[in-house]
Amino acid sequence: MDQRKSKIGTTLEDLYKCDDKSGTTNLQPHQYIKLRIQSDPSNISDIIELPEKYNAMDWIYEQLRQICIELTNLLVMLQEECSSQTCPVMKINDWLYLCASHPIPKECSALDYVVHTVDQAVSTLISSKIFPKRSGLDPNVKPHLENISRRILRIFGHAWSNHREIFVQFESQYFLYERLFELNKKYGIEQGQEVIPPGYKELMYGE
């Protein structure tokens, strides 16, 4: 828990400002990330910017953990219209994806694919075999992080191509797809096939 003390009269906005001069120097990476999100979830460049005192792999790892937590909100929203009847297989436009959460990859409904993917991502991130510690991670864990990121991006791709209103509603509040995309680009995380067009913001907001 963050044990910082705030001065009388401190506004909520100021309380959650996260620069190194505001009492955040002793925070763990996941605490730092949460505070940045609380300060302004739309400020992607600030949220993903690596502070000098943190290890890059630790930072990416904690970013993905936080993304998985917030991703459950998209899952809840998708349940309103994504079902085995409306989306019997996992598709993004004309691309069909098999679910890798089974001993042998196979077709799943899109909603099951989403649930299985999030569950598998969480299981990987908390695996003591893959990540025996939560800090001081070596660069050799990068393929595991790339695999998680690549599969999560497909969830956003399905929402964009098949449930556009839900994607827009979710992304306008959480900016989670943009955060993951920019995180990958900034730290050289391989993203696989592009699942959402580069001009998606213009299509969302008519800019």
How many Å is the Cα radius of gyration of the chain? 18
Please indicate if the annotation marks 82 as binding a ligand. yes
Please indicate if the annotation marks 99 as binding a ligand. no
CA proximity to 195, closest of 174, 180, 173? 180
Q: Which two tokens stand for residue 37?
A: 């999100």
- Give the integer Cα–Cα distance in Å for 200 and 207: 10
Please indicate if the annotation marks 18 as binding a ligand. no
Asked if 41 and 182 touch (Cβ cutoff 8 Å), the reply is no
- Give the integer Cα–Cα distance in Å for 55 and 53: 7
Asked if 117 and 156 touch (Cβ cutoff 8 Å), the reply is no
Please indicate if the annotation marks 108 as binding a ligand. no
Secondary structure percentages of the chain, helix, strand, coil, to 5: 55, 5, 40
Extract the runs of DSSP E, i.e. beta strands, from the chain: 90-92, 95-97
Q: Is residue 34 helix, strand or coil?
A: helix
CA proximity to 3, closest of 34, 26, 30? 26
Residues annotated in a binding site: 82, 87, 158, 163
Residues annotated in a binding site for Zn(2+): 82, 87, 158, 163
